[in-house]
Structure 1
Amino acid sequence: MKSVLHISNDYSGSTVYKNLVQELDELGIKQIVYHPLRDLNRVGVNSVELTDSNSEIIYSPILNWHVDRVFYPYKIYKIYKDIQKRVDFSKIDLIHAHTWYSDGGVAYFLSKKYNIPFVCAIRSTDLNVFHEKLFYLRPFGIKIIKAAKSLFLISESYKNKLLKEPSLKRVKATLNRKLNVIPNGVDRYWLEDIKKINNRSGEIKYENRIDLIYVGTFIPRKNLLLIQQAVIAINKEFSTLSVHLNIVGGGGKHEEQVFELVKQFPCYFTYHGKVYDKDVLRGLYRKCSFFVMPSSRETFGLVYVEAMTQGLPILYTQGEGIDGFYSDNIGEKISIPTVDEIKSKIIKMIENKNNYSIPLNLIEKNHNWAEIAKKYIDIYRD
């Protein structure tokens, strides 16, 4: 194999891509990472020192905040033209598009021109924004699916959604043949001492209060405001039950409202800010009983895995993210995120606190980037 070309519009936005590239590099795969971006401040973010002298990460600040965000064909054409100026395609064996529409669209045209096969990931934004809302793009999206040699998903829940999507009915057989569910890994830090962590579910006891933890942004689909309202309702309704929510993160449309509730009810909420120190975050996980994040439209959610590595049962949403990847015994799931249902499930978790089981050995195996990289390499070589 000469080189794999990664096309990733979001390379600097998530350590997921960095971790995969790093592990592939350690396994001897030559790689060119092409990252078109809008913000000059993101140049160099998630950079990796690659061992092969012919491997490199190309940050190309060619996009803008206006036309490229709304005019999909123009954005794809701009990236298509720019990448050919920066990459020698005679040295590329395979193209890995890290999203279906934004990256896969470029890979599709490059594959046609240079006769290079490509593989493609399908993520939450692809299905819930591009395919669902921009319906005029669907014929092109189907062309990408047909042309890709292999397709990647990171959760079973999204495989089920794809296969049930009416607009993809005529390519269902193709999807069944090409789809590979490969979860994201977590940072090595969270797996280093997983063997030392006993299953804590049997150790959760009533003390002065039950501590919950939320880690994430304050955007609407994360439903943090609903969690806060449910916690307030529980504490007001049950005089013998004290539930406290630890909030980690920030940013997003609901930030002001979240902070207002923290200010109004300091006995129910503690805001810890954005925690970048893993030791501090691990300490917060370990002092809590449950992790709560009933997100809508969640592709996977690595914070669920981080929390489970520390033995925490989780509250999540049916048909989203991690649902379907492990048994239901990892926590409780809700069907529709409402205050009443979140409240009901938190109470149920407290009542059943000793009945959950976190499969730590399986988590260690499934979310180890070194093992995940080997799965990608097997598919690349196919």
Structure 2
Amino acid sequence: MNILHLNSNLNRSKIHSNIVESLNNLEGVDGRIFFPTEIKHHYIEYNESYIDKVKCINRYERFFYFHRNNHLLKVSSELYKKNNFTHILAHSLFSNGKLAMDLSKKLGIPYSVIVTNTDVNKYFKKMIHLRKTGESILENASSVIFTSSSYKERVLEKYISVDKKSGIDEKSSCIPFGIEDFWIDNRQKAQKDTKNEIKQLLYVGKINKNKNLIFLADSIEKLNNEKNKEQFVLTIVGDCENSKDEKIKQNLIKRKYVKIINFADKEKLLNYYRAADVFIMISKTESFGLVYAEAMTQGLPIVYTKNEGFDKQFKDYLVGIPVNPKSYFEIKEAINHIENNYKELSYNAFEHSEIFLWENIAIRFKDCLLTKKDKVSNKEII
């Protein structure tokens, strides 16, 4: 299997490189990434031999969806006209999926698409004029990968025509992203198991409006006041991505029960996970949230956002609890439940963290990308 990966946002997350690397490490799989960038924009240099970074996008083209896709179709079809790819994988539905669909027709090979947080919470939700395009991309794909069943259910229920739901549903899979081997190699069971020890709450990630940290801090303050003592302390490991979010950080700094660590490498972050009792991130929207999985490797029960990327990866109350990010009551109940069931939740989190090993996830990706014809051929060979 020779895969052409399409990703115009490669610089925004290492997840995309991990997908390609983990697939390329499988026997019989090879692949390259088409990474189109703005002509005058500075991007970090990539040394990986499988990345084709092509400076070809005019800065204004991002405002003209179809024109941009037509341009990228010409560039990519010319670049890869002599390559023997057997499959195309678009790393997002809208930003890369339209190109995958058009390039598939031109090269005569099938394509698959990954549906992301941005696809669900930005394009489908807000860009009504592109909904039919999104539906068409899903309809013509050989397979569709959702990072969670929550996103799959939302897309099928809200944005897909009744007569096309079953067809898209049948070829859809729910596959989470993986975490670096470092976290799997350093898995450790939590040492605490009584509610009297549950004090340290941990958040790891960016400080911005979407992460909902002001509401989280308000909820912790209210919870402490109800207990008439400063029982819970929230440690935030992360910093503002943009200057506009500095007000949020300053608001958090003033609170006596909030500690902020601006940056931590993997080794230091490992110690913060191990020092914590509960991991909590109640973002308004969340594509997946690798930090949930990282926390699980250290036996931390987790509190996560209901109906977003991580929700329904596991049954409710197995490794943690999903909550409405706007509900203090649900946050309070989640923490109380964890206090009373800590040992069980901690053990489950530790035990189930192995599913996020990239090697295992790559196998699931490969199986999803294989067409029915490929699967029949494989059986005959075996």
Q: TM-score, normalised by structure 1?
A: 0.88
Q: What is the one-letter code of the residue matched to 2:181?
A: R
Q: 1:283 to 1:36 in 2, by over 3 A?
A: same
Deviations 1:35-76 (CA, angstroms, capped at 9, x unpaired): 11237432425x43x5xxxxx3111233344x2332211221
Query: Which residue does the alignment assign to 1:61?
Result: 55
Aligned with 1:198 (options 189, 194, 215):
189
The counterpart of 1:313, out of the listed 276, 293, 301, is: 301
**Which residue of 176, 179, 193 corresponds with 1:186?**
179
**Would you say 1:327 and 2:328 are equivalent positions?**
no
Q: 2:170 aligns with which of 173, 177, 181?
A: 177
SS in 1 for 2:345: coil
In the other structure, the counterpart of 1:264 is 254
Alignment partner of 1:229 is 2:218: yes
- Contact between 2:202 and 2:235, CA under 8 Å: does it hold in 1? yes
Alignment of 1:38-187 (within 5 A): 38=38, 40-45=41-46, 47-48=47-48, 50=49, 56-65=50-59, 67-187=60-180
User: Residues 370 and 335 (structure 1 numbering): CA distance in 2 closer, same or farther, change over 3 Å?
Assistant: same
1:362 paired residue among 348, 352, 358: 352
Q: Distance in 1 between matches of 2:333 and 2:186?
A: 33
Candidates 270, 281, 285, aligned match of 2:273: 285
Distance 1:69 1:37 in 2: 11
> Could you tell me which amino acid in structure 1 is paired with residue 345 of structure 2?
Y
Cα deviation digits, residues 250-285 of structure 1 (max 9, x gap)? 2246732332233322x311111132x111001001
Amino acid at match of 1:132: K
Report how far residue 381 of structure 1 moved: 3.4
Contact conserved, 2:253 with 2:259, CA < 8 A, in 1? no
How many residues in Structure 1 have an aligned counterpart in Structure 2? 366
Q: CA RMSD in A?
A: 2.3
- Contact 2:240/2:246, CA 8 A, preserved across alignment: no
> C-alpha deviations, 1:207-262, integer Å up to 9, x for none?
5x811111111232221111111122233343234211111112246732332233
Tell me how far 1:168 sits from its aligned partner: 3.7
Residue pair 1:317, 1:337 contacting (<8 A) in 2 also: no
1:217 and 2:206 equivalent? yes
Residue identity matched to 1:379: C
Q: Answer whether contact 1:213 1:246 (CA < 8 A) is retained.
A: yes
Distance 2:331 2:85 in 1: 49
Shift of the 22–353 alpha-carbon distance from structure 1 to 2, 3 Å rule, reads: same
Q: 1:53 aligns to what? A: none
- Distance in 2, matches of 1:237 and 1:379, equals 49
Q: Is the 8 A contact 2:292 2:302 kept in 1?
A: yes
The structural deviation recorded for 1:90 is 4.2
Distance 2:236 2:179 in 1: 21
Amino acid at match of 2:110: P
Q: Does 2:347 align with 1:353?
A: no
Q: Secondary structure at the match of 2:132?
A: helix
Change (3 A) 1:167 1:377: closer
- Does structure 2 conserve the Cα–Cα contact (< 8 Å) formed by 1:204 and 1:289? no
Look up the equivalent residue of 2:21 and give its one-letter code. Answer: Q
SS at match of 2:229: coil
d(CA) in 1 for partners of 2:368, 2:226: 54
Unaligned runs of 5+ in 2: 372-382
Q: Deviations over 1:2-60 (max 9, x none)?
A: x2100011212111111121122222422121111237432425x43x5xxxxx31112
Aligned to 2:32: 32
Contact kept in structure 2, 1:89 and 1:114, CA below 8 Å: no
Per-residue CA deviations over 1:116-162 (Å, capped at 9, x if unaligned) read: 11111111111221122111112221221121101111112112212
Secondary structure of the structure 2 residue equivalent to 1:257: helix
**Residue aligning to 1:8:** 7
Residue 349 of structure 1 deviates from its aligned partner by: 3.3
User: 2 CA distance for matches of 1:13 and 1:204?
Assistant: 40
Aligned-residue sequence identity (percent) comes to 29
Amino acid at match of 1:34: F
Secondary structure at the aligned position of 1:165 is classed as helix
Residues 1:238 and 2:227 are matched in the alignment: yes
